[in-house]
Structure 1
Amino acid sequence: MEKSLRELFEDYVNECRYSAKLRAETIRGYRNVFNLFLKIMPEVTTLELLTPGMLNEFFKRINTRIRIVGRDTLRSGVKNSTIKTQFNKLNVFFIWLQRKSYINSNPLQDIKRPRVTYNDFRRLKDEEIHKIYSAITRCYINSFTLRRDIMMVSLLLYCGLRKGELVALQLRDIDIEKEEITIRGETSKSGNTRILRMHPTLLLHLKDYLKEVKIRDLRTEHLIVSNRDDSGLTYEGLKHWVQALVNKSGIKFHLHQFRHTFACKLAENDTSAFKIQKLMGHIDIRMTMKYERSMRPEDMREDIAKISI
């Protein structure tokens, strides 16, 4: 009996998990895009229907569908970077199908990826960061969530963490005496462990938060604790945390903007691209250069003013 597209995808995921040893976050990304594809294209039930025409129709529907953002905001269209991400995550599955001889050709091989402009990598302005911090101090539930939320924003801002790295942090990764944070290889996209020096502001906020953890006698190994029970914050919990902070601060942001802000701040302070690459945990320095190239001329006014002839 011929396997369904869903069954084949599960075979692919098992290979990713147990043979290729891909990170859970990477597999989660593949699954999310595949589920979206099946949701948008319910008529694609067999391999025979997996054609370039159907893939073009998928991207058309993604671009034109009306979706609800927040409580009642209607929106359509997506960024080129989003389409490119979806393209890449589907493409690896289709390459696997072709390699296993389930299909003769990859339906994406003759479809052009969208061009991503560096404007998609938008940094947060200083006043936006201040408003986010201010929203936390104005709208906190209790002393624990106040100190936890301030610490989380500081971690993102002063370490440039990916969301998977943030959620995966454990107490053992924090060395207050050495003022270091360890990002373990098994939680990082690059697969490499990196050690980051704590910014003085982050160190202060971490100490305050860890005092609260001790007062409440929390026993979980996770650094970031849910405000519901003694367990680590989940991806879904992090998503709700971001949305709540967007609503409270009035600043529309996503987590990766903190990472971009971290990179831009380093570049503005004349940190070399090589050092930024190491701090960000990039395997390829070309990824680091994308962040640097996204800086606008207006971001460099002070640099121009420093020119002396």
Structure 2
Amino acid sequence: MKAKITRELLRDLKPASAVIDIIDTDLRGFIARMSPSGTITYGIRYSNQDGRQCRYSLGRTFPATTVSAAREEARIVLGKIAAGMDPAEDERAKRRQVLTLGKFLDEQYAKWLQVNTRTGPHIAARLKASFSEHLDRPLHEFNAWLIEKWRSEKMKAGMSASTTNRNITALRGLFSRAVEWGAIQSHPLSSVKMLREPGGKVRWLSDDEEVRLRAALTAREARERACRTSANEWRAARKYDLLPALAQGQFVDHLRPMVLLSLNTGARQGELTKLRWESVDLDNAVMTFKGDTTKSGSTRHIPLNSEALDTLRTWKKQSTGLIVFPGRSGGELVEVKTAWANLLKEAKIGAFRWHDMRHHFASRLVMAGVDLNTVRELLGHSDLKMTLRYSHLAPEHKAAAVQKLMKTK
């Protein structure tokens, strides 16, 4: 509304559900704003040198500051604006001086990530860990040279090109939001190019390695049963409460069923830890990974072969709750790093990650003659190019193929 701002006008003004702006007719640019809570603050409205409409708060409220005193202060500031000053930009510059990477991440970006991405906590944790030495650095101090220096140091310390690229990609996303939200004026990583990543070798298990892995799983379960039996004998002798028995035909914990499912379905570890029993159809032998749990965001239906189906049926009998593989507290399982590392050590298998079981699944399918498009659908890839990477054939399999060109004598 337009009116001459007076003490009587502001005193009689009633708050509404929305902000009320009063544009003074006595001094052009002088305004008073009433919030829905009833607080009245003085400010000015003006056009900057770029012609953009700006609003600047004088930091004064009614009735603590009289209308005449506020109007006089507004007159002084408007005079400075006429001389080329931009108070709103100066205020933003002051805020940028003290807004550090860590503060922006904690107070703004992490919250945005949590609402707008499925892996928000993971991205925030990556940023904190990767750029820990720069968390106290103001955002406006970041530039391409600083990032190039950081990258060189990390590469010298042994960080791979792919990991370096992922870290910089995460930081690039943060600065994109910082520019969008006015925390900084320009993107400091706009000229930083990503490193070329060497084509990674797809790792799968040889026949002998798979035999050793399965044997290690069986041996581990036998040891756990023996340890439980021994522990209960000790407790019984002392009349302590016994621990739950580990019967034959049951799994001792989540590790073996998770490994068997990964080998037979190509499921990611994160997909398995988020899996609910409602997504497992044992009657029709189908397991569903819903879009909010998959990397691509698309729902994927995986048919269960006999081993995967038997595994889930057995595990179902001894499982309670809604989560297929719950942690000790009953919530989602966090990680299996220690158990997995010990298993590989016992099986004498090196350089093999949990995710490599996904490569193993895809490679075995291709070597069995399954067409690439079907493999793509089972893996949940939107692009066939990704499937090609996951489904390279073993050298001995290629050798057997070209050997067929030889004429038999």
The TM tier, using the shorter chain, reads 0.7 to 0.9
Separation (CA, whole Å) in 2 of partners of 1:117 and 1:270: 28
Paired with 1:168 and 1:58, the residues of 2 have a C-alpha distance of 35
Structure with bigger RCO (C-alpha 8 Å, 6+ apart) = 1
Mark the CA change 1:306 to 1:28 in structure 2 (over 3 Å): closer, same or farther.
farther
Alpha-carbon distance between aligned partners in 1 of 2:256 and 2:154, rounded to the nearest angstrom: 35
Aligned to 1:38: 131
Assess if the C-alpha contact under 8 Å between 2:202 and 2:359 holds in 1: yes
| Matching residue within 115, 136, 153 for 2:217 | 136
Give matches, 1:100-111, under 5 Å.
100-111=181-192
Secondary structure, in 3 states, of the residue corresponding to 2:288? strand
Structure 1 gap ranges (5+): 66-76
After TM superposition, the structure 1 = structure 2 runs for residues 240-279 of structure 1, keeping only pairs within 5 Å, are 240-252=338-350, 253-279=352-378
Q: Would you say the 8 A contact 2:178–2:184 is kept in 1? A: yes
**Secondary structure at 2:200's aligned position in 1?**
helix
Q: Is the 8 A contact 1:167 1:232 kept in 2?
A: no
Classify 1:118/1:51 alpha carbon distance in 2 versus 1 (closer, same or farther; 3 Å): same
Query: How many residue pairs get matched?
Result: 284
Structure 1 position 149 matched with structure 2 position 231 = no
Measure the CA separation in 2 of the matches of 1:146 and 1:274: 37
**Percent identity over paired residues:** 23
TM-score of the aligned structures, taking structure 1 as reference length = 0.81
The partner residue of 1:54 within 135, 138, 146 is 146
**Mapped contact 1:147–1:208 kept (Cα < 8 A):** no
CA distance in 2, matches of 1:29, 1:115: 24
Q: In the alignment, which residue of structure 1 is the partner of 2:299?
A: 193
Q: Look at both structures and tell me which one has the larger radius of gyration over its CA atoms.
A: 2
Contact 2:287 2:301 in 1 (8 A): yes
Higher mean Cα deviation, 114-123 or 26-35? 114-123
Q: For 1:195 and 1:43, how far apart are their aligned partners in 2?
A: 42
Q: 5 Å matches for 1:91-102?
A: 91-102=172-183
8 Å Cα contact 2:367/2:393 also seen in 1:
no
Query: For structure 2, which runs of at least 5 residues remain unmatched after alignment?
Result: 1-94, 226-245
Are positions 1:7 and 2:99 aligned together? no
- Measured in 1, the distance between the counterparts of 2:151 and 2:202 equals 22
What is the Cα-based RMSD across aligned positions, in Å? 2.5
Q: Which residue of 1 aligns with 2:384?
A: 285
2:372 is aligned with 1:301: no
Match of 2:199 among 115, 118, 125: 118
Deviation sequence 1:82-124 (CA, Å, 0-9, x none): 2222232222222222333433443333333222233343223
The answer on whether the counterparts of 2:113 and 2:121 sit within 8 Å (CA) in structure 1 is: no
Higher share in helix: 1
In the TM superposition, what is the alpha-carbon distance from 1:179 to its structure 2 partner?
0.7
Specify the alignment match of 1:86 in structure 2: 167
1:185: how far off?
1.1
Task: Name the counterpart of 2:239.
Answer: none
* Partner deviation per Cα, 1:142-169 (whole Å, 9 max, x = no partner): 4455463221111111111122211101
| Counterparts in 2 of 1:172 and 1:196: CA distance versus 1, 3 Å | same
| Distance apart, 1:196 and its partner CA | 0.6
Pairing 1:210-225 to 2, within 5 Å after superposition = 210-213=316-319, 218=320, 220-225=321-326
Q: What residue is the counterpart of 1:17 in the other structure?
A: 114
Query: In the superposition, relative to structure 1, how do residues 212 and 192 fare at CA in structure 2: closer, same or farther (>3 Å)?
Result: same
Residue 181 (str. 1) matches residue 287 (str. 2): yes
- Of 255-264 and 49-58, the range deviating more from structure 2: 49-58
| Compared CA separation, residues 162 and 105, structure 1 to 2 (3 A) | farther
Opposite residue 300 of structure 1, the aligned amino acid is K
Shift of 1:189: 1.4
Number of the residue aligned with 2:275:
169
Output the TM-score relative to the length of structure 2.
Answer: 0.63
Instruction: Report deviation, 1:58.
Output: 2.3
